[in-house]
Chain A
Amino acid sequence: MPSVSMIVNGKPVSAAIEARTLLVQFLRETLRLTGTHVGCDTSQCGACVVNVDGRSVKSCTMLAVQAEGAQIATIEGLAQGDRLHPMQEAFREHHGLQCGFCTSGMVMGALDLVRGSPDPSEHQIREWLEGNLCRCTGYHNIVKSIAAGAKAMRG
């Protein structure tokens, strides 16, 4: 079995895995980081979005071995102790989640949006969410949360 090494939420990890292991399986099953979710099998829903070297990536669409040497950020790595990241806090304040299943993908995707567009318009946010499905919120409060989170991150 090939072995793979990467930095996940700032910590170096390595493991011997089957070559066919997807990044999302590596995170969920090998590392037990279950905050990243699987909502479909066709790379449509975005529940599995994590950041790989700063870019949002659907972790169901990448083999773990392709992330060799990469910096991975997942939802578990955002808060500092009890203090939520400003984007997480914005989702809490604006009721940007109901069942929570799509939420990690939404938050991790939003961070990549804000990196390139610190002050995204409603239109930009809605277009950016093309790859993230939510069945609970009608996106109304997710769009509000991302705009508010971006504002908080601008300081």
Chain B
Amino acid sequence: MGQFGIGQSVRRVEDARLLTGAGLYLDDITLPGQTYAVFLRSPHAHANIRRLGTHAAAAMPGVLGVLTGTDLAADGIGHLPCRAPIRNKDGSRMAAPTRPAMPADRVRFMGDIVAMVVADTPDRARDAAEHIAIEYEPLESVTDTAGALAPGAARIWDRAKDNLCFDWETGDAGAVAAAFTKAARIVRRDLINNRLCPSPLEPRGAIADFDPAARRFTLYASSQGVHQLQRTLADMFGVKKHDLRVITPDVGGGFGMKIFPYPEYALALWATRRLGRPVKWTGDRTEAFLSDTHGRDHVSHAELALDADGHFLALKVSTIANLGAYLSLFSPYIAAMAGAAMLVGLYRTPAVHLRVRGVFTNTAPVDAYRGAGRPEANYLLERMVDAASRETGLAPDDIRRRNFIPASALPYETPLGETYDSGDFEGTMRLAMARADWAGFPARRAEARARGRLLGRGMATYIETCGGGPEEAAEIRLDDQGGATLFIGSQDNGQGHRTAYAQLAADRLGLPIASIAVVQGDTDRVASGHGTGGSRALAVGGVAVVRASETLIANTRGAAARLLDAREADIDFAEGLFRVRGANRSLSLSELARAVIASGSPPPSGAAIFDPPASTYPNGCHIAEVEIDPETGAVALTRYTVVDDFGTVVNPLLVEGQVHGGIAQGIGQALREVCVYDPVSGGLLTGSFLDYALPRARNLPFISFATNPVPCVTNPLGIKGAGEAGAIGAPPAAINAVIDALAEFGVAHIDMPATPEKIWRVLRERASAA
């Protein structure tokens, strides 16, 4: 293994460009003759469009077109699909209304697009949008998750009775019921998993350009993978995939939200074909809050049955999941299945049953956000374990230790059908406790109390499923200047793919990292791909890169033998050199490439596909300490410790960065962030960073991070996915700490986000009750 092999904290090749302002994000691209689109969005949560007057707007200076849903329908553009239909528990199909990119007659959430203006400057497009005359007939709305199923709630789709999209279940209801009859104790909680707005710093955007001679579209979009957009949008327009090129430049964060095809992308394609000019849309932050897919938004009731010794006998959960007004690409799957199988966690709980009802509301569509179902499941489970710890009097580590799946039981098939391949769950917890100075907590608490502050400590373990299917392909091609180009269909959103992939290829090929270019984000250059999501880039894409490198060496061994005048069987390859065994003759890979290309043959290349046989199961232990000011309810996160098992780590620097960011998003969910819709008007109240509280630098401490790696058995490189883990472990650790700080006042639960206001109110209620 070379200098830049697996396990080295190689500094990022991306950074020199991004640090000097040379990055190229969507809004940095300007096409000749470009025009600008602005979308007029519904101010109502639910309304019929009675009249829509566009003449005044169309007559404004610089305006090229004012387009409506009626025009869109007349042009026969297809609806946005949902690719994750699921079955109800009785076997019937879910309610699956489809979404037009721009509705013609009825709007179903605040932010639904009602008209599109295209003009020669963005300001002129905005000015014109203000001259569109619309008469709405407002309708009753419902935005509340549990309220959507209430009798008399406003009905959003004619075909979805009671706003129910699906009623799904998993697990063994009979086994759970039997276990509950034998329980010594049943712990019950109602838990809300708050609605979040993913909020990457770069808003969404798109530029569409239609070449009438070639009858070919080009779409530039800020995305997590060009091939998904190509397929979906080509379907919507009824064109062949090769007639729709999708390009994604540098992306300023995605976190799941940028996976999806959005109405604006289809409308930009439609408008460029109609108007004959490139059409650019740059979303602003208000539009992001209104129209990006949101995440989470579950309301659950959970019951955990225990025996007299604190062993978990069964877990029973009923969840209502808010899907928003329209189905998004994967939303039913994310709401129900994506996290369900992780409700077992690290424990031997023999029986689990989960029912999920997906509901429509007058809110933005909900889909994958970092963790995508697993944070919801893990929050629920680890809150229940913490509640059981309090009710049984068993310490948080003790009750977990009693229930852990022991290392000797691995591989372990859970009652929900996952097979955990590897891990050291108790060792990881022990290491986290040592690093967090668990034993020193009472002294820290006493010190805080002397200052009039309440110190709380919370633990949460996690295990999650990621780094699995579908397959990913990679191709590496050598050039005649000592370089190589890697083509792969995952999509960097800031993770550092170029560095990590080049590191893997450089290690196998013996080339300098700087000589390896990585190409992503262009359907004309990369043949296939499944984009970025599910912490798959290294666990799946990385294996494809290594195998493509090995294939390249295998493909060139014969040429090397000819050039070295030796038998192929006598050729060894190591450290970038082909050598003749037993002779003092060698040829570098770059020399070989030059000779092959000079001879008129195609450049040497290697391609491989990796289709993972199983998911990977990263796991770990988070420990948070929070300090609460009882006078104001203010919470400060004072210490944070995490130990993760990510199996083999390719680049520790990048992995640690992923953990920091995931934890920050998890802490944001636990302590600060929530999307709020007004219960009466249905309007979004958190429409800017003034109302939606992203964590800032002073809300977070340094994070103590370590790994306790156990290589993944089912992954050829031993990798377990690492991108989402932080956001999965952090929320319950933080809330468990808040509850620990407040437990002496009899507080058994506070829903996320545990804001100062909520804590202050709870403390005040307790004081007045006492």
Contact = CB atoms under 8 A, between A and B. Distances in A.
A100 B252 contact: yes
Given A34-B28, A126-B697, A41 B688 contact: yes
A68 B703 CA distance: 44
Contact of A88 (B19, B285, B495, B496): B19
Nearest to A125: B697
27 contacts: A32-B30, A33-B21, A34-B25, A38-B27, A39-B203, A40-B285, A41-B285, A41-B688, A45-B689, A76-B20, A84-B16, A88-B19, A92-B11, A95-B11, A95-B656, A97-B15, A100-B250, A101-B202, A103-B18, A129-B696, A133-B694, A135-B199, A135-B200, A138-B660, A138-B700, A138-B703, A140-B702
A130 B661 contact: no
Interface string A124-138: 011101101111111
Contact of B689 (A102, A103, A133, A139): A133
Interface string A42-57: 1011010000000000
Interface of B: 11-12, 14-16, 18-25, 27-28, 30, 123, 199-203, 250-253, 255, 284-286, 493-496, 653-654, 656-657, 660-661, 663-665, 688-690, 694-698, 700, 702-703, 726
A135 B694 contact: yes
B689 A44 contact: yes
Contact of A133 (B12, B28, B201, B494): B201
Given A91-B15, A92-B11, A95-B654, A44 B690 contact: yes
Given A41-B688, A135-B200, 14 more contacts: A34-B25, A41-B285, A42-B688, A45-B689, A75-B20, A88-B19, A101-B25, A101-B200, A101-B494, A102-B201, A133-B696, A135-B199, A138-B695, A139-B696
B25 A37 contact: yes
Given A45-B201, A101-B201, A84 B20 contact: yes
Contacts of B664: 135, 137-139
A29 to B, nearest CB: 8
A99 interface: yes
B120 to A, nearest CB: 13
A39 to B, nearest CB: 4
B224 to A, nearest CB: 12
A135 B21 CA distance: 19
A137 B661 contact: yes
Nearest to B282: A38
Contacts of B496: 98
Contacts of A39: 201-203, 252, 285
Nearest to A87: B19
Interface in A120-155: 122, 125-127, 129-130, 132-143
A2 to B, nearest CB: 15
B253 A135 contact: yes
B694 A103 contact: no
A35 interface: yes
Contact of B11 (A93, A122, A134, A143): A93
B46 to A, nearest CB: 26
Contacts of B698: 126-127, 129-130
B313 to A, nearest CB: 38
B479 to A, nearest CB: 23
Interface of A: 18, 20, 28, 32-42, 44-45, 47, 74-76, 78-79, 82, 84, 88, 91-93, 95, 97-104, 107, 122, 125-127, 129-130, 132-143
Pairs A-B, 6 closest by C-beta atoms = A35-B21, A99-B494, A101-B252, A138-B664, A100-B18, A44-B689
Mostly, the A contact residues are loop
Contact of B700 (A34, A37, A140): A140
A77 to B, nearest CB: 9
B212 to A, nearest CB: 27
Nearest to B689: A44
Given A93-B11, A137-B664, A99 B251 contact: yes
B738 to A, nearest CB: 19
A82 B514 CA distance: 15
A126 to B, nearest CB: 4
A84 B19 contact: yes
A138 B493 CA distance: 16
A149 B688 CA distance: 32
A92 B703 contact: no
A142 B703 CA distance: 13
A40 B19 contact: no
Instruction: Find the residue from B11, B27, B201, B202 having the highest chain A CB count within 10 A.
Output: B201
A88 B21 CA distance: 11
Contacts of B28: 28, 34
Contacts of A126: 697-698
A76 B21 contact: yes
A95 B657 contact: yes
Given A42-B285, A98-B494, A92 B12 contact: yes
A38 B253 CA distance: 14
Contacts of A18: 123
A87 B57 CA distance: 48
Contacts of B660: 137-138, 140-141
Nearest to B663: A138
A133 B699 CA distance: 11
Instruction: Find the residue from A36, A39, A47 having the highest chain B CB count within 10 A.
Output: A39
A146 B19 CA distance: 14
Contacts of B661: 98, 135-138
A126 B214 CA distance: 54
Contacts of B654: 95
A20 B122 CA distance: 12
A27 B18 CA distance: 17
A142 B39 CA distance: 36
Nearest to A35: B21
Given A45-B689, A140-B702, A97 B18 contact: yes
Contacts of B123: 18, 20
B634 to A, nearest CB: 15
A78 B696 contact: no
B665 A135 contact: yes
Contacts of A82: 16
Nearest to B493: A99
Nearest to A134: B201
Contacts of B697: 125-127, 129-130, 132, 134, 139, 142-143
B284 to A, nearest CB: 5
Nearest to A20: B123
A146 to B, nearest CB: 10
Contacts of A20: 123
Contacts of A34: 21, 24-25, 27-28
